[in-house]
Amino acid sequence: MALSTSNVKQTIVERYFTGLASVPDNYKQTVDFRTTDAAALKIAGLTGLGTIPSWNGTASLNDSATEVAEATDGVTVNYVQYGAQMTVSRANMIDVPEAVGYAAQKLGFAVANTYAKLAFEAWDHSSGLQTGDSVNLFHAQHTTSAGGSNYRNNYLTSALDTTSLMAARKLARNWVSFDGAPYDLTSAGFWLIVPPELEEAAHQAISSPYTLTEVTTSGSPSQGLSNINGRWFSPSDIVVSSHLKDANDWFLVSKIESPLVMWERLRPEIRITEDPDTLNTRITCDFAIGIGAHGDPSVAIGSEVTGGQ
């Protein structure tokens, strides 16, 4: 059936959503995804209690109250608008009916692909994304309220294998909050974010029940049992993205809390209009996204194998 004004909109919408669904939205697992209705998104600063002090049951708690103020190392996330338009002439719509549906499908794919690109590229060490203490998202010296040399570290330089994965888990075990209290989130589990080049290494580190323990010049390499298999990680924890720029770097992020904020200020909206002068069918889509980091970075670890701080 040839396309006409009676069915072109239905065709465009159907194929647009086909393209939209063809890109995995696994980036949403790794970010703090928000749809706040505001001109700019305000992220809370580095605050916290750490531990609860003792109380005699009668004294005024207000005398020793901890003030929560977003002005202290808070972060403001601003959005960026995106938009595209595709045009199909009336003649092509009749001669090549598939052109309209194909264009709409490609537009949907491009929208979903842009969301994934923005999210995963923000994880990259070269993104320049900074937390509330004005250093990179992954850094060996995140500040604490104690100041001085009381830093927090969420930065590694080790290639991905079982040993480095367990070193990252140990680092997470020793996380502290801004006020220096233990902030161990390991019980919630982690997402392991890797580029395609590290997908095999990720599965080997997580899934293999064996690990090489010695390599000699004669005979077969000896093997030992790996204690990591099936205990703290599983293959379903691996998130692979071709949008990650470096083939060697990898990232570990808590499943319960992410330091990366992805703010959808305007949802993607598709419009179909007809130019009254040329009679061309126009397919237009626009949306707005903001990317930023929380004030507190202590819920993710990044290993920068190439380059370094």
Series of mean pLDDT values for 10-residue runs along the chain (309 residues)? 60 87 90 90 69 82 67 76 88 78 89 95 91 88 79 92 90 85 88 96 78 60 56 88 95 92 93 86 91 84 84
48 belongs to a structural domain: no
Per-residue pLDDT, 209: 55
Provide the pLDDT for residue 117.
95
Q: Look at residue 249 in the predicted model and tell me its pLDDT.
A: 96
pTM: 0.83
Contact 286, 267 (CB under 8 A): no
In 3-state terms the chain splits into helix, strand, coil percentages (rounded to 5) of 30, 25, 45
pLDDT at 1: 41
Please give the structure tokens belonging to residue 236.
């379903």
In sequence order, the β-bridge partners of residue 152 are 142
Please check whether residue 187 lies inside any domain of the structure.
yes
pLDDT at site 219: 62
Residue 170 lies in a domain: yes
Tokens in use for 148? 């001085």
| Total domains, the chain | 1
For residue 289, the enclosing domain spans 8-22+30-37+80-303
pLDDT score at 2: 47
Q: Is residue 296 part of a domain?
A: yes
Given this model, what pLDDT does residue 196 score? 96
Contact 160, 202 (CB under 8 A): yes
Rounded distance between C-alpha atoms, residue 35 and residue 57, angstroms = 42
Quick one: residue 180, left, alpha or beta (phi over 0 = left, psi -120 to 50 = alpha)?
Answer: left
Query: Is residue 72 a part of any domain in this protein?
Result: no
How many other C-beta atoms lie within 10 A of the C-beta of residue 131? 25
Residue 239 in domain:
yes
DSSP helix/strand/coil, 281: strand
- Check residue 213 and give its pLDDT: 55
46 within a domain of the structure (yes/no):
no
